[in-house]
Amino acid sequence: MKYDKFGPQKVVHVYNPKTNVKGFVVIDNTALGPGKGGIRMTPSVTPDEVFRLARTMTWKCALAELPFGGAKSGIVANDRELTLDRKEKIVREFSKELKNIVPEEYVAAPDMNMAGQEMKWFAEENGNMKACTGKPKEMGGIPHELGSTGLGVFHSGKIALEHMNRDMNDVTVAIEGFGNVGHFTAKFFEEAGANVVAASDSSGVIYNPEGLEYNKLKSTKDNQGAVTKHPSGKVLDNPKIFELDVDLLIPAAIPNVITSKNVDNVKADLIVEGANLPIPPGIEKKLHEKNVLVVPDFVANAGGVISSYVEYKGGDADEMFEMVPRKIEKNTQLVLERSERTGNYPRKEALEIAQERVLEKCDFCGED
Residues labelled as active-site residues? 72
Nearest-angstrom CA–CA distance, 155 and 160 = 9
User: Is the Cβ–Cβ distance between 10 and 27 less than 8 Å?
Assistant: yes
3 burial via Cβ count (<10 Å: 0-12, 13-18, 19+): exposed
Task: Assign 270 to helix, strand or coil.
Answer: strand
Q: How many CB atoms lie within 10 A of CB 86?
A: 12
User: Is the Cβ–Cβ distance between 30 and 62 less than 8 Å?
Assistant: no
| Amino acid at position 148, single letter | S
Q: How many CB atoms lie within 10 A of CB 98?
A: 22
Alpha-carbon 270 to chain mean position: 18
- β-pair type (172-176, 248-251): parallel
Quick check: bond before 278 cis, omega within 30?
no
User: Is the Cβ–Cβ distance between 136 and 116 less than 8 Å?
Assistant: yes
Task: Assign 16 to helix, strand or coil.
Answer: strand
- What is the DSSP code string of 45-76? --HHHHHHHHHHHHHHHHHTT-S-EEEEEEEE
Nearest-angstrom CA–CA distance, 353 and 334 = 9
Handedness of CA 78, 83, 86, 92 (dihedral sign): positive
Alpha-carbon 238 to chain mean position: 20
